[in-house]
Amino acid sequence: MASEWCIGIIGGSGLYNIEGLEDEQWIAIETPWGDPSDEILCGRIGDVKVRFLPRHGRGHPISPTELNSRANIDALKRAGCTDILAISAVGSLREEIEPGRFAIIEQFIDMTKRRESTFFTSGFVTHVSMADPVCERLSDLAAKAISAAKGKVAVGATYLAMEGPQFSTRAESRLYRQWGADVIGMTAMPEAKLAREAELPYALIGMSTDYDCWREGEAVDVAQVIEQMQVNGALARDMVVKLIESLPKKRKPSPIDTALDDAVITAPDEHDPAVMAKLDAVAGRLFG
């Protein structure tokens, strides 16, 4: 397994670029799953390779429902990423996760309905574990980097992934609180599932912009979200640099690097060559 870090950054609402990159260039990457959201900004910070993808594309032209998450994850894998740090604007479902606070996500509740959520179809059926859906190592580093950037952080949050693009009703927002969700967003699923299928350790930072609509008399509006995103985005860029600078010199293997070892259920003589051809980046190490 790779001993050098290559960090993929997926920038959400409010984070459309990375500052401090050396040797930077935008590179178009083709995938069997269609076009990713944008070209990938490749560069380095010190000795660490960085690959940045704006999740909604530069200028935010792509809606949450229409994101091609399979192409995004595949493209980052092809770009050489060893790990993925995802950043996303979220609504808060907890008083203590006030607008401006960052939340380190630990668990997910997936309520999306219209999205392709797996690389593995008939002909190469695979079931990866999502019991612990994020990388503990990368999440811990992210929490420390937020504090180093003078940001406020909450750890161990549960993220409710809704379909969107509309915001929640009050009944939904209050129900999600009862379920134990701490923040709500529209983009982390199936992104986190696909990262696990691609054997990429994944951590998610939720940047709180609002209190959704569970509090009496309050509702979300885009102007409020954008204003808070601008503040959050500046802190997020500083945090990314501090995280990368804090990485150990050598990358030790992660159990997620081999998540597919015990996940494939289709018998070898039933493997579909056409399906396997599309999986060259995601699961190619299994075919060597």
For residue 156, give the 3-state DSSP assignment. Answer: strand
Helix (H) or strand (E) holding 53: strand 48-54
State how beta strands 102-110 and 40-45 pair. unpaired
CA torsion 116-155-63-193 (nearest 10°) is: -10
User: Would residue 210 show up in a list of annotated catalytic residues for this protein?
Assistant: yes
User: Which residues lie closer than 8 Å to 146 by C-beta, 6 or more apart?
Assistant: 102, 104, 152, 153, 205, 235, 239
State how beta strands 153-161 and 183-185 pair. parallel
User: Would residue 182 show up in a list of annotated catalytic residues for this protein?
Assistant: no
Residue corresponding to tokens 């019991």: 131
**Catalytic residue (choose from 38, 74, 212, 238):** 212
**Catalytic residue (choose from 182, 210, 238, 257):** 210
DSSP one-letter code for 141: H
30: left (phi over 0), alpha (psi -120 to 50) or beta: beta
CA-to-CA distance for 276 and 25, rounded, in angstroms? 31
CA-nearest of 77, 80, 67, 82 to 34 is: 67
Asked if residues 89 and 207 have their Cβ atoms less than 8 Å apart, the reply is yes
Catalytic center residues: 210, 212
